[in-house]
Amino acid sequence: MRKIRVHIENTRKKGELFHVTRARWDAACARHRKLASRLEASVGWDGDILEQALTEADIVIGVPARRERLAARAPKLRWVHATSAGVDGFLPLDWLPADAVFTNNHGAHGAKAEQFMCMAFHLLNSRMPEITGNQRTHRWQQLFSPNIRGKTALIVGLGDLGQGAARAAKQLGLKVIGVSRTGRKIRHANAVHKTTALDRLLPTADYVVMAVPLTPQTRHLLNRSRMDRMKPSAGVINIARAPVLDNDALADKLRRGELAGAVLDVVDPEPLPPESPLWDTPNLIVTPHISCDDGEHYVDISLDLWFGNFERFLRGRPLQSRIDPRRGY
């Protein structure tokens, strides 16, 4: 029986945490011996063996930097898998061969997102951005905070990250209101509405969490006019992509005291340049895009999910986490 050829494409520009090395691949194969016996794998770096590997590859893990004429370069290709959840950098999918499917790393981030969101909710409720600002200026001011239980979290986007945020909110005793394209109910939300209800819901929120994929429809979804609808005591948390909210408007409202605080795990550009005004925006905490990635086992988690999907591939079943080219996620 012919083995299925999988090529793993890495880039050194990404951190070591995300590298699918030969050792990490072999460890995953040891956990999934029966499935791995059907595979023959090559591991490349920054295109060093890409062209030769593509001539025989049935599957590629890691989206190649050069994607033009991919159908001609990879005549046997049936599946491309992104090792990230966000795929906005790979759109539009006009490079994807007609007979191939494209999947992302959905499911690898929710557990860590849940833990980060527990922290972020507490940071804002405890007025920690303001307290740390006072520490930098050597100012002693007792800032007391209420019990977080019973406050309202409005979570915009209910995929892997958004559901992690919802679980965190529920653990803390928050009322959880979800917003998604479909309005489909999820377990940890008190109510879920379609995105068209966002303007009506914003004034009710103590915390607005952005967890949507970046698409043309979600760019600046939380814009200045929508922030104007929020309570001055409310906070914003973004664990999605930076452009889903207007960061300039957010910084302006924080400076004016028209919002209580914010936690941004994503900014544009990344890394944030030293001259960016966001560094010195009051009541803002910036974390360097680390909210949702397990710092010890990211690749292990990702490959275990991939092998689960590979079993579906072998059985001819529809793959999970398949990207819809029309929606962009």
User: Structure tokens of 222?
Assistant: 């939380």
Other Cβ atoms within 10 Å of 297 Cβ, number: 14
Active site residue 289: yes
Residue 322: per-residue pLDDT: 97
Task: Give the model confidence (pLDDT) of 37-54 as tens digits.
Answer: 999 999 999 999 999 999
Active site residue 24: no
Q: Identify whether the C-beta of residue 313 lies closer than 8 Å to the C-beta of residue 319.
A: yes
Identify each DSSP E strand in 184-315 by its residue range: 191-194, 207-210, 235-238, 261-264, 284-286
Gap between the Cα atoms of 302 and 53, Å rounded: 22
The mean pLDDT of 231-241, rounded to a whole number, is 98
Burial string for 82-117 (b: 16+ CB within 10 Å, else e) reads bbbbbbbebeebebbbeebbbbbbbbbbbebbbebb
DSSP 199: H
Does residue 1 register a pLDDT over 90?
no
Residue 168: per-residue pLDDT: 98
Full 3-state SS string of 299-327: HHHHHHHHHHHHHHHHCCCCCCCECCCCC
Active site residue 138: no
Does residue 328 register a pLDDT over 90?
no
DSSP code per residue over 51-83? HHHHTT-SEEES--S--TTHHHH-TT--EEE-S
Task: Give the model confidence (pLDDT) of 152-186 as tens digits.
Answer: 999 999 999 999 999 999 999 999 999 999 999 99
Mention every residue, 6+ apart, whose C-beta is less than 8 A from residue 122.
Answer: 128, 148, 172
Other Cβ atoms within 10 Å of 233 Cβ, number: 11
Q: Give phi and psi for 289, each to the nearest 5.
A: 55, 55
pTM above 0.85, yes or no: yes
What long-range pairs does 28-36 form, CB within 8 A, spacing at least 24? 28/299, 28/300, 28/303, 28/304, 28/306, 28/307, 31/304, 31/307, 32/304, 32/307, 35/307, 35/310, 35/311, 35/314, 36/307
Residue 238: per-residue pLDDT: 98
Residue 152: per-residue pLDDT: 98
Q: Identify whether the C-beta of residue 52 lies closer than 8 Å to the C-beta of residue 328.
A: no
Pure H helices in 8-142: 22-31, 33-36, 50-54, 70-73, 110-125, 128-136
Task: From the candidates 19, 81, 188, 241, give the one annotated as an active-site residue.
Answer: 241
Directed axis angle between helix 160-171 and helix 110-125, to 10°?
Answer: 50
Average pLDDT value for the chain: 97
Q: Which of 309, 60, 106 is nearest to 213 (CA)?
A: 106
Tell me the CA distances in angstroms from 248 to 67, 240, 243, 253, one per residue in order.
34, 17, 11, 9
Structure-model confidence comparison of residues 132 and 328, the more confident one: 132
Q: Which of 63, 65, 57 is nearest to 41 (CA)?
A: 57
Residue 325: per-residue pLDDT: 85
Task: From the candidates 31, 40, 149, 270, give the one annotated as an active-site residue.
Answer: 270
Residue 326: per-residue pLDDT: 84
Task: Give the model confidence (pLDDT) of 59-106 as tens digits.
Answer: 999 999 999 999 999 999 999 999 999 999 999 999 999 999 999 999
Residue 270: per-residue pLDDT: 96
